[in-house]
Chain A
């Protein structure tokens, strides 16, 4: 019993726990959530990268060559590798959440989640192929 404690009759003090600043580190599912949210930073990074590339393109072949040079540095490779992992994580979590946000009903029955998520993955493969075809071969 603490000496300093005072109780007012009929007005018990409620105990409120402050949520720790590191709440997201305490539980695996929360940590996963934070990782998902942080993937947005890498999305933004990607946009910045694209903007640099485009800017270099508009400046002529030398600038474009320079930026390609930079892209070959180990730092850039590492950064892009990590970014790729995060954006993949974004893609997967995003697809898997669509059935939650957009349930589809056919004949009064709710389609199982995977049936709604699956077309996303198919479309993803197709779109990726098209993009690659344009960039590489187009």
Chain B
């Protein structure tokens, strides 16, 4: 059993530096600690200026994604014990601009989420007085997996296509679009399809599949995107063969 473990933490202080450096910290080793606990230890006792995001510490708010030894991880769900004897290298999420230390810039991601119209689109709203839309457990199950995304952006940090081309809408946003498409209450599939069958939408994805492997919530964005491609291709042929079929 070891007593301490070393963390190599990326620091970037834009007021002083032009590029990130690494700083080593030695923290007590506790088998119940996750990487985030170690960072909090550093912030509380060793260096109060270390900056990073976190909130829930239970893997559901999606704020604490970072690169841990080169892999994108939720630091509140990644135990130190996995990396014994260390050192553990902690860096900001890959492929995003770094703002400060371990915090990345995420407005690009937020814009992408919005761009897929992630809300129920209806030709006609159902009045509340008529009660709920009926949705069987099977219908619920159709989109449920894609609704589990916590927007942690880990899949973006895993996807080289996003790294190379920031115009690519990317895994989580596409999975979210698919979440609404598959929802029996939604009627916006066509609207979203027009938007997403452009190059930056689904077609940029070359099915690297790393997004799904890295996703801490089993959302399977890779699957969502391929299913989307299949759907878009079918629609394309339909509109080609029956131009009058679409509005």
Contact = CB atoms under 8 A, between A and B. Distances in A.
Contacts of A14: 14, 97-99, 105
Interface string B4-48: 000000001011111110000000000000000000000000000
Contact of B14 (A15, A17, A97): A15
B160 A23 contact: yes
B234 interface: no
Contacts of B131: none
Interface in A1-32: 1-2, 4-5, 7, 12-17, 19, 23-24, 27, 29-30
A30 B213 CA distance: 12
A14 B101 CA distance: 11
Contacts of A13: 14, 18
Contacts of B105: 14
Interface in A82-110: 97, 100-103, 105, 108-110
A15 B20 contact: yes
Interface residues of A, number: 28
Contacts of B16: 1, 5, 7
B211 to A, nearest CB: 11
B222 to A, nearest CB: 6
A56 B135 CA distance: 62
Contacts of A109: 141
Contacts of B128: none
Nearest to A11: B14
Q: Which of A2, A13, A30 has the most CB of B within 10 A?
A: A13
Interface stretch (B82-90, B167-175, B223-231): B223-231
B192 interface: no
Contacts, number: 80
Contacts of A37: 206
Interface in B189-247: 206-210, 212-213, 220, 222-223, 226-227, 229-230
Contacts of B212: 100
B58 interface: no
A33 B18 CA distance: 33
Nearest to A99: B223
Contacts of B160: 19, 23-24, 30, 33
Contacts of B112: none
Interface string A29-68: 1100100010000000000000000000000000000000
Given A15-B97, A33-B208, A97-B209, A2 B227 contact: no
Nearest to A30: B160
Nearest to B227: A101
Contacts of B209: 33, 97, 100
A29 B100 contact: no
A12 B105 CA distance: 11
Contacts of B1: none
B109 interface: no
B183 to A, nearest CB: 15
B137 interface: yes
A15 B20 CA distance: 8
Contacts of A102: 226-227, 230
Q: Which 7 A-B pairs have the closest CB atoms?
A: A101-B226, A14-B97, A108-B138, A12-B14, A100-B223, A15-B98, A7-B15
9 contacts: A1-B17, A14-B99, A16-B98, A19-B163, A29-B213, A30-B210, A101-B229, A102-B226, A108-B138
Given A23-B160, A37-B206, 12 more contacts: A5-B16, A7-B14, A12-B100, A16-B97, A23-B163, A23-B164, A29-B213, A100-B220, A100-B222, A100-B223, A109-B141, A110-B141
